[in-house]
């Protein structure tokens, strides 16, 4: 049976591919984007099956109105995908106040407000599923992406908490965690002005790897989208879904290191309990 979807960030990349895949299989999609016209070709091909809405997640006043409009046009939303976001590239000392505010307003606060706007609507219709697109960077961290990681770790914590709050209403979540994937993510990075003192540090190493193309990208965008759709269709999907061999390896190593560190300091940890 066809499903109704609401997806943010559909101009390019994974969001655009997801819209294409879903329309091709006969689903209906309300797609949001910041640049009007980016989906005109799909609209001409699929007509009323595609509803296009303009949304900038940094404009929190728009979010509830756009969510309400999507429900009005489609009647109900079975799957909502919080996909909009971008990367801020620079060491923590290099990024500007304005860059930090915009990164967190888009990737963290905007996603929080989008999910909050969905919840009363999903409760009223008896349930639904929300896919939050995070990244491997929601569980591990690379140098030179500090504020980006803050946004992804933050949204994962929010979703893990809210998923417990709304489970009684038949609302569930998937946190999708792709590793480096062949999209326009790198081209769309917001670059901070560089400081010479970071040239010979891990931050500088990552900067050079990205600039030279040495930063390995193994993930296939089409396969990543297909896996996300399959998870959303599943009866019992995982809360977190790592996508790609890089994501699997880096998250596994990161979790193992954290457990090792926890155990190494177990005596101190337990020593602070009261009698």
> What pLDDT digit, counting tens, does each position of 47-59 carry?
999 999 999 999 9
Domains and CATH numbers, the chain: 4-245 (3.40.50.720)
User: 32 forms bridges with which residues in the sheet?
Assistant: 53
Least confident of 31-40, 82-91, 109-118, 204-213: 204-213
- In the predicted model, what is the mean pLDDT of the chain? 95
Are the C-beta atoms of 129 and 75 separated by less than 8 Å?
A: no
- Average pLDDT of 230-254? 96
What tokens does 227 get?
A: 């896996």
Output the pLDDT for position 214. Answer: 74
**pLDDT > 90? residue 106:** yes
Output the pLDDT for position 161. Answer: 98
Query: DSSP assignment, residue 90?
Result: B
Are the C-beta atoms of 121 and 71 separated by less than 8 Å?
A: yes
**pLDDT > 80? residue 121:** yes
Is 148 catalytic? The answer is: yes
The larger pLDDT score, comparing residue 131 to residue 2, is at: 131
**pLDDT > 80? residue 69:** yes
Side-chain-side CA neighbours of residue 160 (13 Å): 11
93: pLDDT confidence band, cut at 50, 70 and 90?
very high
What tokens does 179 get?
A: 């590793």
Catalytic residue among 142, 148, 198, 248: 148
Q: For 157-214, what is each residue's pLDDT tens digit?
A: 999 999 999 999 999 999 999 988 877 777 788 999 999 999 999 999 999 988 887 7
d(CA 82, CA 132): 5
pLDDT above 70: percentage of residues in the chain: 100
User: 176 forms bridges with which residues in the sheet?
Assistant: 133, 241
Side-chain-side CA neighbours of residue 176 (13 Å): 26
Are the C-beta atoms of 12 and 184 separated by less than 8 Å?
A: yes
Percent helix, percent strand, percent coil in the chain, to nearest 5: 55, 15, 30
The larger pLDDT score, comparing residue 275 to residue 126, is at: 126
- DSSP of 108-148: IIIHHHHHHHHHHHHHHHT-EEEEEE--GGGTS--TTBHHH
The set of residues, in sequence order, having a beta carbon less than 8 Å from that of 137 and lying 6+ positions away, is 145, 148, 149, 152
Output the pLDDT for position 135. Answer: 96
- Average pLDDT of 74-100? 97
Are the C-beta atoms of 221 and 182 separated by less than 8 Å?
A: yes
Output the pLDDT for position 35. Answer: 86
User: What element of type H or E holds 80?
Assistant: strand 79-82
d(CA 223, CA 228): 9
Residue among 160, 159, 150 at smallest CA distance from 82: 159
- 101 three-state secondary structure: helix
């Amino acid at each position: 049976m066809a499903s109704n979807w609401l997806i943010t960030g559909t101009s390019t990349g994974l969001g655009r591919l997801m819209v294409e895949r879903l329309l091709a299989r006969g689903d209906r999609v309300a797609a949001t984007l910041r640049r009007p016209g980016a989906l005109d070709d799909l609209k001409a091909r699929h007509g009323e099956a595609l509803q296009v809405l303009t949304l900038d997640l940094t404009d929190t006043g728009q979010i509830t109105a756009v969510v309400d409009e999507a429900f009005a046009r489609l009647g109900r939303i079975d799957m909502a995908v919080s996909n909009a976001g971008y990367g801020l590239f620079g060491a923590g000392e290099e990024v500007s106040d304005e860059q930090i505010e915009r990164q967190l307003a888009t990737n963290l606060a905007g996603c929080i407000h989008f999910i909050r706007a969905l919840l009363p609507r999903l409760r009223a219709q008896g349930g639904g599923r929300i896919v939050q697109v995070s990244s491997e960077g929601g569980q591990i961290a690379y140098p030179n992406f500090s504020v980006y990681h803050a946004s992804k770790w933050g949204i994962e914590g929010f979703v893990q908490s809210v998923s417990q709050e709304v489970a009684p209403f038949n609302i569930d979540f998937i946190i999708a965690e792709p590793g480096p994937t062949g999209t326009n993510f790198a081209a769309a990075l917001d670059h901070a002005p560089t400081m010479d003192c970071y040239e010979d540090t891990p931050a500088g190493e990552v900067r050079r790897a990205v600039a030279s193309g040495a930063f390995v990208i193994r993930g296939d965008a089409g396969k990543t989208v297909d896996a996300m759709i399959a998870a959303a269709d599943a009866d019992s999907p995982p809360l977190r879904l790592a996508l790609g061999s890089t994501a699997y390896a880096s998250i596994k190593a990161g979790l193992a290191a954290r457990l090792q560190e926890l155990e190494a300091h177990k005596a101190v940890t337990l020593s602070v309990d009261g009698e």
